[in-house]
């Protein structure tokens, strides 16, 4: 009885109550139905707009690549890769920058990997999960968010002046190592944590010591994850400019670096200085664009290796 009454309210135009239709007029228009149509239309509109947002970033990437390629046409050739710097744009090349970046990585990789993986091993294998442990974790998380210029100031004061390393490769490398340290620590921690307990238990069950287990079981198993993290860190280090600028890397350096105590230039630094000076000498913009292509190609290669490692060696335990 109640039901019959409630279902026969078919008048009220304004929805002060849920519009009730009689059973056979369920699908005919009334204000709720109109409202439903409007809501569906809004959903459709949002879908279109949000989709555009999603591909906006991709579009920008496309535009960026096209722009850079266009600016570098004619300037990216073997002569560019094998020449030294020069005030004359047509003669200039990035031989020195490539060498500088490579030697920089020779410092960064061992330093950051050894310290970073060791820190991760300490946090996961040795430290008791107490206040000290949490302290180091928060510390690393905070370091990850410190702007790169600040690392530059640190490097300038400690490595550049205090240790007397000036603007050498060693100074730059040590500074960058500290910068990418958190990345390696976090990635290594995750990799170590992912090593399943039964592998460790098997090792202990055979009578191995803690250290033996770490060295022979845990680290090798975690290696793909650690490697991926390392590659990520190197990618970051290769492209970093600000700390090197703060350290005082010179604008024009002709001598190629022979040892890590020498002055140097690096790929991102060249991009920076050439872009700045492009206001005066338009051709410098082309040189910068060509260098960007080399840098991006390098990063692409690195990241591809990381993906291959991840796919090939990630076992699902």
Partner 1 sequence: MNQQTASQPGLMTQNAYDVKDLNLWYGDHHALKDVSLEIQKNQVTSIIGPSGCGKSTFVKTLNRMVEEVPGVRTTGNIMYHGRNILDPDIKVEALRARVGMVFQKPNPFPKSILNNVTFGPKLHGIHDKKKLLEIAEKSLVDAALWDEVKDRLHDNAYGLSGGQQQRLCIARCLAVEPDVLLLDEPTSALDPIASFKVEELIDQLKARYSIVIVTHSMQQAARISDMTAFFLNGEVIEYDRTEIMFARPADERTNNYISGRFG
Partner 2 sequence: MNSIESAAPQKPRRNFKLKSRKYERYIPAFFILAASISIITTVGIVLTLFNDALHFFRAVPLKDVFSTELAPLAAEPKFGFIPLITGTVLTSLIAMLVATPIGLTAAIYMSQFATDRVRKVVKPIIELLAGIPTIVYGFFAYSFVTPLLTRLIPTLEAKNVLSPGIVMGIMIIPLVTSLSEDAMSSVPNAIREAALGLGSTKLEASVQVVLPAALSGVIASIVLGISRAVGETMIVAIASGSSKRFTLDVTQSIQTMTGYIVEFTSGDAGSGTIGYYSLYAVGLILFAFTLLLNMTAQHISRKFREVY
Three-class secondary structure of residue 80 per DSSP: helix
Q: How far is the CB of 34 from partner 1 (least distance, A)?
A: 10
Q: How far is the CB of 205 from partner 2 (least distance, A)?
A: 6
Residue among 76, 85, 98, 154 that touches partner 2 (CB under 8 A): 154
> Under the criterion CB under 8 A, does residue 275 sit at the interface with partner 2?
yes
**In this structure, what DSSP letter does residue 18 have?**
P
64 contact choice in partner 2, partner 1, none (CB below 5 to 8 Å, kind-dependent): partner 2
58 contact choice in partner 1, partner 2, none (CB below 5 to 8 Å, kind-dependent): partner 2
Using CB under 8 A as the binding criterion, the count of chain residues that bind partner 2 stands at: 90
Q: How far is the CB of 140 from partner 1 (least distance, A)?
A: 32
Whether 166 and 257 have beta carbons less than 8 Å apart is answered as no
In sequence order, the 6+-apart residues with CB closer than 8 A to the CB of 216 are 203, 208
Nearest to 213 by CA among 187, 195, 190, 191: 195
Helix (H) or strand (E) holding 195: none
The C-alpha torsion from 142 through 144 and 150 to 154, rounded to 10°, is 90
In sequence order, the 6+-apart residues with CB closer than 8 A to the CB of 42 are none
Three-class secondary structure of residue 315 per DSSP: coil
- CA-CA distance, 280 to 72, in Å (whole number)? 18
Under rule CB under 8 A, which residues in 273-302 are in contact with partner 1?
Answer: none
> Under the criterion CB under 8 A, does residue 42 sit at the interface with partner 1?
no
Considering only 19-27, 44-52, 191-199, 252-260, which stretch makes contact with partner 2 by CB under 8 A?
A: 44-52
4 contact choice in partner 2, partner 1, none (CB below 5 to 8 Å, kind-dependent): partner 1
Residue 41 vs 135, nearer CB to partner 1: 41
Provide the total of helices (H) and of strands (E) in the chain, helices listed first.
Answer: 13, 0
Phi, psi of 189 (to 5 degrees): -60, -45
Q: How far is the CB of 92 from partner 2 (least distance, A)?
A: 16
> Under the criterion CB under 8 A, does residue 242 sit at the interface with partner 2?
yes
Residue 1 vs 197, nearer CB to partner 2: 197
Residue 258 vs 300, nearer CB to partner 2: 300
Burial of 309 (0-12, 13-18, 19+ CB in 10 A): middle
Q: How far is the CB of 49 from partner 1 (least distance, A)?
A: 20
Q: What does the per-residue mask of binding to partner 1 show for 2-31, with x meaning CB under 8 A?
A: xxx-xxx------xxxxxx-xxxxxx---x
Whether 235 and 187 have beta carbons less than 8 Å apart is answered as no
> Under the criterion CB under 8 A, does residue 55 sit at the interface with partner 1?
no
> Under the criterion CB under 8 A, does residue 44 sit at the interface with partner 1?
no
> Under the criterion CB under 8 A, does residue 47 sit at the interface with partner 1?
no
- CA-CA distance, 227 to 134, in Å (whole number)? 25
Helix (H) or strand (E) holding 258: none
Q: How far is the CB of 122 from partner 2 (least distance, A)?
A: 4
The dihedral sign for the CA sequence 175, 176, 177, 181 = positive
139 contact choice in partner 1, partner 2, none (CB below 5 to 8 Å, kind-dependent): partner 2
Under rule CB under 8 A, which residues in 124-153 are in contact with partner 2?
Answer: 125-127, 135-136, 138-143, 145-153
Point out which residues bind partner 1 (CB under 8 A).
Answer: 2-4, 6-8, 15-20, 22-27, 31-33, 35-37, 39-40
């Amino acid at each position: 009885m109640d039901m019959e009454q409630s279902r026969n309210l078919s008048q009220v135009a304004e929805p002060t109550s849920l519009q009730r239709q009689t059973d056979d007029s369920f699908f005919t228009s009334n204000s709720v139905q109109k409202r439903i149509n409007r809501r569906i239309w809004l959903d459709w509109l949002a879908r279109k707009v949000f989709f555009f947002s999603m591909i906006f970033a991709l579009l920008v990437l496309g535009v960026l690549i096209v722009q850079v390629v266009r600016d570098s046409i004619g300037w990216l050739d073997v002569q560019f890769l094998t020449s030294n710097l020069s005030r004359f744009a047509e003669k200039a090349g990035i031989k020195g920058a490539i060498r500088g970046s490579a030697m920089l990585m020779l410092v960064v990789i061992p330093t950051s990997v050894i310290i970073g993986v060791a820190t991760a091993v300490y946090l996961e294998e040795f430290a008791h999960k107490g206040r000290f442990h949490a302290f180091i974790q928060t510390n690393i998380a905070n370091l990850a968010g410190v702007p790169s210029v600040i690392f530059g100031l640190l490097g300038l004061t400690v490595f550049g002046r205090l240790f007397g390393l000036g603007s050498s490769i060693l100074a730059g490398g040590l500074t960058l190592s500290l910068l990418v340290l958190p990345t390696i620590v976090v990635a290594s921690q995750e990799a170590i944590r992912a090593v399943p307990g039964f592998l460790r238990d098997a090792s202990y069950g055979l009578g191995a010591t803690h250290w033996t287990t770490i060295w022979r079981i845990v680290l090798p198993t975690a290696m793909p994850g650690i490697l991926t993290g390392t590659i990520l860190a190197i990618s970051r280090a290769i492209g970093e400019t600000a700390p090197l600028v703060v350290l005082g890397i010179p604008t024009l350096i002709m001598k190629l670096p022979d040892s890590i105590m020498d002055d140097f230039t690096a790929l991102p630094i060249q991009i920076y200085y050439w872009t700045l000076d492009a206001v005066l000498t338009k051709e410098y913009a082309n040189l910068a664009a060509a260098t960007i292509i080399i840098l991006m190609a390098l990063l692409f290669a690195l990241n591809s290796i990381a993906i291959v490692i991840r796919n090939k060696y990630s076992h699902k335990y």
